[in-house]
Amino acid sequence: MLRSRLESIRTALSSIPDPEAWKRMAALYILFAIAALAIGFGTGFLAFAPFRGNPWFTVALPVLLLLKPAIFEEVVFRGALVPHARERLSGAKVGLFAASSLILFVASHPLQAILYRHSVIDLFTSPIFLTLTLGLGFVCTAAYIISGSLWPSVVMHWVTVTVWIEFLGGAARLGIHSNSLLPH
């Protein structure tokens, strides 16, 4: 079992979608982004608030966010938990694994807050945050299933979190302060 999951992850990381698949993934992501921005701004959860922190940290932050959460969470929640197309499982089984993975992805956020990130418990249990997390997880899962590659999901996850933290108030919500290198 472990060997097959590791092989799926390796295959998903080594698969690069063709340009046409990237276009389809971009269209999928744009639909998600429009919905997320409408929900976020409509509820006041998002606000244009550029992060003005330590310049080195501001430049390094996108790289850090690429590693975690983007690559790490996509490998865990898509690559390890959702069967790769090469595994040739029925659509119903893939759907069951995908739905389970999506539930775990959303649930992992409040669980993180409860276990070791107490300062963000209100954020990570917020219905709006969880709705947006569900939307992101859904689009990342769909992109992985459609493309057979983790890279579109990684890019979608990374862009979403980076834009939120750097420009849409995420830094303040996460407790990342202007003179700090790490969240408080």
Give the global pTM. 0.94
Q: What is the pLDDT of residues 103-113, one digit of tens each?
A: 999 999 999 99
What is the sign, positive or negative, of the torsion defined by CA atoms of 154, 157, 161, 164?
A: positive
pLDDT of 180 reads 55
What tokens appear for 99 in the block? 């739905």
Q: Where are the domains of the chain?
A: 2-174
Where b means 16+ CB within 10 Å and e means fewer, 35-55 reads ebeeebeeeebbeeeebebbe
Q: What is the pLDDT of residues 47-83, one digit of tens each?
A: 999 998 888 888 899 999 999 999 999 999 999 999 9
Q: Say if residue 69 is preceded by a cis peptide, omega within 30 of 0.
A: yes
Calculate mean pLDDT across residues 78-101.
93
